[in-house]
């Protein structure tokens, strides 16, 4: 049967290692989730940018077509005019007005579509942040407290098994095993230190 010192050291080492491994696993999960959320937002932004480019191109083409149609209608009106200068001028003004109205409607429609895309971008950003927040970021403070709690528990167990602190009244067998326990403590401390560097 192991003496109290060895059991206490082993308990403390296992508790510390478990806390550090848990912290590392949570850190990796947080990073992986954040990366996936960011990539999803990049993909969604790219799609929205493509949609905006398409509607801008369509609006531009529509205005060109409307201007061309206005010119063609105006040319036909001039060619078939038989009511004199005043009548021809009124017809031309009406044709130009209709062309301007058509272009205005195209511009307003483009602005509405762009505003909608802007709202979708805001929604994409909120969804990405919500996804990132869905996995908790690991806390160094919480991990340190968990390690401290494990060490306190190991000390409590050591005392309950008859061990003493400060070198007073320890049984001879425990004193003889102190060296072995100390060696184990040193090895576990070095291993824990290596893991802590990954925090």
Domain positions in the chain are 4-196
| pLDDT, position 59 | 92
Is 0.85 topped by the overall pTM? no
Rounded CA-CA distance 41/121 in Å is 9
CA distance 3 to 179: 12
Q: How far apart are alpha carbons 2 and 176 in whole angstroms?
A: 12
Number of H helices and E strands in the chain, helices first, is 4, 0
Q: pLDDT tens, 163-192? A: 555 544 433 333 333 433 444 444 444 544
pLDDT digits (tens, 9 = 90+) for 55-64: 999 999 999 9
Per-residue pLDDT tens over the stretch 17-46: 777 878 888 888 889 989 999 999 999 999
């Amino acid at each position: 049967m192991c003496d109290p010192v060895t059991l206490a050291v082993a308990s403390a080492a296992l508790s510390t290692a478990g806390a550090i491994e848990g912290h590392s696993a949570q850190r990796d999960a947080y990073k992986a989730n954040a990366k996936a959320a960011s990539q999803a937002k990049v993909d969604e932004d790219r799609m929205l940018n493509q949609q905006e480019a398409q509607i801008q191109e369509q609006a531009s083409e529509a205005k060109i077509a409307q201007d061309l149609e206005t010119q063609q209608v105006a040319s036909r009106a001039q060619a078939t005019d038989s009511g004199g200068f005043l009548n021809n001028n009124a017809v031309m003004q009406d044709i130009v007005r209709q062309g301007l109205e058509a272009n205005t409607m195209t511009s307003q429609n483009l602005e509405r579509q762009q505003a909608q895309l802007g709202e979708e971008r805001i929604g994409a950003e909120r969804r990405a942040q919500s996804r990132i927040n869905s996995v908790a970021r690991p806390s160094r403070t919480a991990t340190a407290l968990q390690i401290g709690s494990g060490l306190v528990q190991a000390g409590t167990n050591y005392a309950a098994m008859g061990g003493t602190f400060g070198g007073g009244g320890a049984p001879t067998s425990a004193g003889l095993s102190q060296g072995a326990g100390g060696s184990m403590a040193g090895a576990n401390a070095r291993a824990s230190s290596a893991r802590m560097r990954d925090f």
